[in-house]
Chains A and B, each alone.
Chain A
Amino acid sequence: MSNKAQARNPWTDPYNDEMISLQARLVHEVIRRLEPQVEQVITPELAGQLEKIYLTGCGDSHYAGVAARLAFDKYSGVQTEPLESLEFSRYVVDYAPNNSLVIGISNSGQVSRSIETLVLARKRKLHTIAITGYSDGPLARAAAASLIQSVPDMAEDWGPYSMGSLGLGNFIASLLTLYLSALRIGELRGKVSSAQVAALKRELVGAADIIARTAEADAKTARELAIAFWHLHTFYILGGGPNYATAMFGAAKLFEQPHQNGVAQELEEWAHEQYFLTRPNVAPIFILAPPGNSRDRAMEQMRGARDMGGTVVAICDAEDTEVLQLAQYALPIYGTLREEFSPLAYIVPTELFATNLHQVKGRPPLIPPFGQEQLMQVNYRQIFHSKIWGQ
C-alpha cells in the first residue's frame, strides 16, 4: 500500500482504483479466515432445526443480505428473507417462527438498529449470529454466536485506510460470509453435497480474479464516464434479484463518495416509476444485466430506456454482445460467476464510477459554519447512538 493511500482521510478523500482492486485480495483472506468459524458456529444441530432465516442489517450490510438471498434459497434449503434492521426489529420479530435464525450484520458492530435486531431476537429465543468485524463489539455481544470477518485487522495489515471504510471491503466480506453460511447450512441439511460445496467455494475463490480483471479493464471507461457525466446530479442504477442489492450498493457509493443522488431501482420497476423522468441527457441509467434470470428483462428495459431517449450504461458480461449492443456505454465484467454469486464482481463498475466522479467533480461544499466535524458527529449520533429497544 502506498504512503499516499495510507494518508488518505476516508471521510473526505476519494478512493483510488488501487483500493478497488484490493478487494480481490480480500476474497482469499475472508474465505480462509471464515471457513473454520462458519463450521464451528453453524452446527448440525442448529442447521437441522431451522424453519426460516432472516438476514438483517443497515446500509451496505442490508444489501449484503439482499444479495445473498438467492444463494440461501437455492442452497440452504431454508426459506430466507433479507430485511432492513428496523423493519425486522420493529415490525417482524414478533411474528418470526420459533426456529428462526436471525443473522445480524454490521462491520463496526455498533449500529444501534442492527444490535436491536439481535437483542429482540434473543428475547424471543430465536437463534442469532452476528457477522461483524469486532469480536468484542456490541453486536457480537448481543448475539449467541459471531462470525468475525476481520476486515479491520486486514486494513491495519494492508494500510490503515485501505479497507474497512465506507463499505468497500466490508460488503464483499459480509457477502462471502453469508455465502459460506448458506453452503454450510445446505450441506448439513443434505441439500448440497460436500463435493458441490467444494466446487462452489472454488467459484467463490475465482471471483478474486474477476474482480481484479474487471477493476483494471474498466478503470479507463469509468474515468471517461465520470468526465462525460460530471455535470449531472442524479444516476439511476437498475438491477434484479441479487443484483438489486448491487444497484443499492452502487447508489450508496454515489451518496458516500461524490455526494450525488444515486437512485437504485428494482429492474422491473423502472417501467413503473423512473420511466416518467427518463429523457435525453438527464440522468444516465446503469443497468445490471448479468447472465441469469432477469437478463431478458434487462434487455427489454434497455430498449425501453433508449426509446425514451435515455442514456444507458450496461454492466454485463464482457462477452455478451447482445446486451452490449443495446447500450451507449458499457462497464463489462471480465469473467463469469453464477448469478447468485455475481454481486461479488458486479459491484466493481459502480464503485469505479463513483470513485472517479468523486475525483473529477469533488463534492458539493459544506456551508459554514457547518463543517466536516459536525457532519461526522451527526452521522455517528444517528447511526450508533439511537435508543435500542430491549436494552
Chain B
Amino acid sequence: MTNKPEHIQQIVAQTNRDLQSAIQTQGAAMRIVLSHLRAQMQDTRLRDLLGHAKMIFITGCGDSFYAGLAAQQAFLRYGGVLTQAIEAMEYSRYVGPFAPRESLVIAVSNSGRVSRTVEAAQLGTHYLGSIGITDAPTSPLAHASTCTLPVGLMPMASGATGTRSYLASMYALYELAITVGEVNGTIGLSEAAELQRVLDESLEAMEWTLSQSRAAVDALVPILQSETVLYFIGAGPNYATANYGAAKLLEAVGMSGVPVQMEEWAHEQFHITGPDTTFVVLAYPGNGRDRILEQIRGLHAMDAQVIVVAPREDVELSQAGAFLVPVFGRLPEEFSPLVMCIPLQWLAARLAVSRQTTMRMLVDEHKRDVNFHQIFDSAIAPMNPKQIQRLVKSISQE
C-alpha cells in the first residue's frame, strides 16, 4: 500500500474523505430528494402510467437493480400491482419480449447512460411505457423513457462509490409504490399519508443508525483487516442490502464481497463455511426472522465468524452473533433497506481508509476507460414493435 506514488496516495486519501463525508451528510441530501420527489407525484402523466399498469418491472444494473429489489415488497404490499425487480439485461433480452401488453417499466440509472438500462426502457415504451428514474434530463435513458422522474441529486461524479444515489433511487421507488397504491385505490389517502410519514421518519432513522453503528463498525475494521472475502446474507428486501453491501466492498475496497440469499446459504456457501469465513447477517425483524435465527445457529455450528446487523431492541437477534452492528428498528420491513445499508456503506468506507484503497478507476485511467466502455458504450439491441411481433410470430411458426 505504502509504495504507491505520492499523487496516488493523495487521490486515495481525498476520495476516501469524500466518501465518508458523502455518507455523513446524506441524511440532509435525502430530505431534499424526498421533497423533490413528492412534488412530482401529482404529475398527471406519471399517475396515468401508474394507474394503467397491470404489471410493473423495476429494472437497472448494479446498485440501481438492487434499489428495485429493495422496493419490490413495497410495490407488492401497497401498490396492488404484480411487480418484479429484474436485472436490466434479463428484462431487455429475455423477459421483456414476452411481457404482458399493459406492463410498465421503471428503469433506474443515476447517470442515465447505462446501455442495458436504456435498452430496457426502450423496450418498455412498446408496452405501456417506461418511467426513467434519472437526474440526467438529456441522457439516453431520459430520451428512451416515456417520462422521467428526477430525484433531485446532481448525477454523481462518474467512478465514485454510489451511496446517495442508491438511497435516492430507493426513495423514488418507495414514493412510486405509495402512489401506485393510491391511484389504484389499494390504499386510501390516509394510509398513503401515513406511509409518507414513515418515509419522513426514515430520514432521522438513517442518521440515528449512522450515529449508533459507527463505533461498532470502526471496531470491526481491525478485526476484518486480513479478510479477503466477506459474505452478506439477507432475504426479502434485505437481499438487496446484501447485494449492495457486497458491491460496496468490490468498489471501494477492492475486496471480494459475496451476497447470499438467506435460505440459500444452507444449500451453497455452507460447503465452504468454516472458522476462516466471516458472514454479515442482515437480521431485520420481519418475515424471515425465524429463519435468520436458524441460519445463524447453523453458522455458529460451522464455526463461522458472525456479524449481525440488527436493532438492539430485538434482543434475540441482536445477541445472536459474535458482533452486533445496531440499526434503527422501528421501520416496517419493506422500508428497512433505507437503514440497513448505512452501516455497510460505512464499513466499506472505513475498510478503504484502513487499506488505503479506493475505486480502481479513480487512480487508473485505462481501467476507468474499460469500465465505462463496458457499461456505457455497449451496443444497444433495439427492439421495436415489428421485431417483437416477428419474434412472437416466429415462435408460432417454428
Query: B250 to chain A: which residues have CB within 8 Å?
Result: 273-274, 276-277
Interface residues of A in 68-114 (CB under 8 A from B): 69-70, 73-75, 79, 81, 84-87, 90-92, 94-95, 97, 113
Task: Please determine whether A386 and B247 come into contact, CB atoms closer than 8 angstroms.
Answer: no
Task: Please determine whether A272 and B375 come into contact, CB atoms closer than 8 angstroms.
Answer: yes
Task: Evaluate whether A378 and B62 lie within 8 angstroms (CB atoms) in the complex, with A274-B250, A276-B251 already known.
Answer: no
CA distance A296 to B115 in the complex (A): 13
Task: Evaluate whether A294 and B93 lie within 8 angstroms (CB atoms) in the complex, with A192-B395, A271-B371 already known.
Answer: yes
Does B313 touch A at the CB level, under 8 Å?
A: no
Residue-by-residue, is A197-238 near B (CB-CB < 8 Å gives 1, otherwise 0)? 001100000000000000000000000000000000010000
Question: How many residues of B sit at the interface, in one of the four size bands?
Answer: 35 or more
Minimum C-beta distance from A284 to chain B (A) = 14
Task: Please determine whether A268 and B61 come into contact, CB atoms closer than 8 angstroms.
Answer: yes
Does A371 touch B at the CB level, under 8 Å?
A: no
Task: Please determine whether B264 and A300 come into contact, CB atoms closer than 8 angstroms.
Answer: no
Task: Please determine whether A86 and B77 come into contact, CB atoms closer than 8 angstroms.
Answer: no
Chain B binding surface SS class = helix
Minimum C-beta distance from B28 to chain A (A) = 28
Minimum C-beta distance from A260 to chain B (A) = 7
Query: B116 to chain A: which residues have CB within 8 Å?
Result: 268, 297
The interface on chain A, measured as residues whose beta carbon lies within 8 A of the other chain's beta carbons, has a size of 74
Does A184 touch B at the CB level, under 8 Å?
A: no
Does B55 touch A at the CB level, under 8 Å?
A: yes
Interface residues of B in 228-243 (CB under 8 A from A): 229, 235-236, 239
B93 touches which of A234, A261, A293 (Cβ 8 Å): A293
Query: A52 to chain B: which residues have CB within 8 Å?
Result: 82
> Looking across the interface, which residue of chain B has its beta carbon closest to that of A340?
B94
| Stretch from B136-144, B202-210, B214-222, B271-279 that touches the partner | B271-279
Which B residues contact A (CB, under 8 angstroms)?
55, 61-63, 65, 73, 76-77, 82, 84, 87-90, 93-95, 98-100, 116, 229, 235-236, 239, 246-247, 250-251, 254, 256, 258, 261-272, 274-275, 287-288, 290-291, 294-295, 298, 301-303, 359-360, 366-367, 370-371, 373-375, 378-379, 381, 395-396, 398
Q: Which 10 pairs across A and B sit closest by C-beta, in order of nearness?
A: A59-B267, A272-B62, A382-B266, A271-B374, A86-B263, A268-B89, A73-B98, A90-B287, A293-B93, A255-B271
Which A residues contact B (CB, under 8 angstroms)?
52, 58-60, 62, 69-70, 73-75, 79, 81, 84-87, 90-92, 94-95, 97, 113, 191-192, 196, 199-200, 234, 240-242, 244, 251-252, 255-256, 259-261, 263, 266-269, 271-277, 293-294, 296-297, 300-301, 304, 307-308, 364, 366-367, 370, 374-375, 378-379, 381-383, 386-387
